[in-house]
Amino acid sequence: MVKKLIEKDTKMFLTGNEVLAYAANAAEADFMYGYPITPQNEIMHTWCKLLPKTEAGFLQTEDEISAGFSTIGGILAGKRAFTATAGPGNVIMQDAQSMAEMMRIPFVCAVMQRGGPSTATVIYAQQETRLTCFGGNGEGFRIVYSTAGHQDLYDYMIKAFNTAWTYKFPTYVLADGYQGKMREPVMLYDPKSRGIEMVPVTPYLLGEGEIGKDRKSVHLRNTYNMEEELMEVLDQYQEDYNKMAEEVAEYQEYKAEDAEILVIAHGIVARSAVTAIDELRAKGIKAGLFRPITIRPLAVKPLRAAVQRAKQILFTESANGQLAQMVLEKLYGLTTPYSTLYKMGVGVTGDDIVQKVEQMVKTPATV
């Protein structure tokens, strides 16, 4: 059992990567497996620095392939294990992530997005949105929380463990290099003080009881012989996923109730949107925000309702519409026109959004 560091509410001034390490400890995570890649390194650094106090475990692996698979090994042993990665590391970790999907392993991973494709930049982007939701050779049986700052990082990292262990789908905290590297105040707390009980963890292998006496040996597999055999399994997964989505999907609205122009953004870009909306409102322009917090699964009903109320939509991302593609699919049948502000691998500022919305007021979107 790990030792928890935060017993009472503690306000700290930290980088996001530090926050994630503290959050994992608050969630009673036992073990981290990881491989260095910018901009997530300080999660590992902080985790390692805290080890003498937390008595948790850490393994620096030979690559992200191993980080992913050894995390699975730790989980099979019954540990609340996790990993973190970014960019090309996230790409090669998909191998393990798809195994976790297939075998319903409560894999928890923090993704600190950086520019892509390829090595690109080590700084920032929202270009791993699609990869994190739908990577691997499967159907995206995953849960992805997109955070917008340090309090989110703390809250949702704790939540990610419980979501993963409750529903047994791989669960992600999707952030980015800005959030990882930036420093802002955050309130750390013991989850218990917020009424959060950590979902108990149990081993998949070498659990209670003697083989041949109390129980049979466990045989976990990810290979099936027959097409129909596979479909039967996946149909059940889809049913479980749909049921889970009702309980897990989260979103945030900001002045969206009477918004004529509704900005749809996730993660840190949603924060720039809040800055912009305040400015636009001061100028008499009725702008509002719909921010999916779970970008997979999406909170479809409130999303459609907000879109239906608005006269125009603005999708803005530090990517070329990766979230928009997922959202548009859910808006089938609605006719609200939309415009886009995409900056691939570059931060979207409040000013960017203000200018774009002002332009939309003058020349409304037609698409």
Partner 1 sequence: MTQILTLPPSLPNAQNAEVGASKFCPGCGHGMILKSLAFAIDDLNLKQKAVFGCDIGCSLLSWNYMDLDTVQTHHGRTTPVIYGLTRANHEAIGIAYMGDGGGLAIGSQHLVNATVRAERMLIIVANNTNYGMTGGQMSPTTMPGQRTETTPYGRDCEVTGRPAKGAEMVAAIADPNKSYVARASVSNLRKLRSTFKKALKNVEMGGFSFVEVLSLCPLNWRTNNVDTWGRLAQMEECFEVKEFLVREGLEG
Partner 2 sequence: MARTKMVLAGEGGQGVQSVAKILVEAGYEAGKQVLYIPNFGVEQRGGVSIAFCQIADEKIGEPRFAKGDIVIMLSDRAIDRCDTYVDENAIVVYDTSVCTKKPECKCKKIIGIDANRIANEQLSARVFNIIILGVLIAATNVLEVSDIKNAMELALGKKFDAKPELRELNYKALEMGMNMIKDKVGA
Give the footprint of partner 1 on this chain (CB under 8 A).
30-31, 33, 57, 59, 61-63, 65-66, 68-74, 76-79, 81, 95-96, 99, 203-206, 210-212, 217-223
Q: Does 87 bind partner 2 (CB under 8 A)?
A: no
Quick check: 109 and 97 in contact, CB under 8 A? yes
d(CA 308, CA 304): 6
Q: From partner 2, partner 1, none, which one binds at residue 149 (CB under 5 to 8 Å depending on kind)?
A: partner 2
Strand partners, 226: none
Task: Calculate helix-pair angle for 268-282, 350-362, nearest 10 degrees.
Answer: 50
In the 8-state DSSP scheme, what is residue 336?
-
Return the one option of partner 2, partner 1, none that residue 271 interacts with (CB less than 5 to 8 A, by type).
partner 2
- Is 123 among the residues that bind partner 2 (CB under 8 A)? yes
Strands 251-254 and 287-292: antiparallel
Q: Is 275 in the site for partner 2 (CB under 8 A)?
A: yes
State how far the Cα of 274 lies from the Cα of 313, in Å rounded to an integer. Answer: 15
The two three-digit tokens of residue 25, written as one number: 């400890």
Q: Counting contacts by CB under 8 A, is residue 364 touching partner 2?
A: no
Question: In whole angstroms, how close is the CB of 187 to partner 2 at the nearest point?
Answer: 13
Binding mask 215-254 for partner 2 (x = CB under 8 A): ----------------------------------------
Query: CA–CA separation, 72 vs 57, rounded Å?
Result: 14
CB atoms within 10 A of CB 152: 25
**Residue range at the interface with partner 2 (CB under 8 A); choices 82-90, 94-102, 155-163, 269-277:** 269-277
Return the number of the residue (81 or 144) whose C-beta is nearest partner 1. 81
Which lies closer to partner 2 via its Cβ, residue 170 or residue 267?
Answer: 267
What DSSP assignment string belongs to 101-150?
Answer: HHTT---EEEEEE---SSS--SS--STTHHHHHH-SSS----EEEEP-SH
Q: Among partner 2, partner 1, none, what binds residue 352 when CB lies within 5 to 8 Å by partner kind?
A: partner 2
Partner whose binding site includes residue 39, from partner 2, partner 1, none (CB under 5 to 8 Å by kind): partner 2
- Enumerate binding residues for partner 2 (CB under 8 A): 13, 38-39, 121-123, 149, 177-179, 181-185, 268, 271-276, 278, 347, 349-352
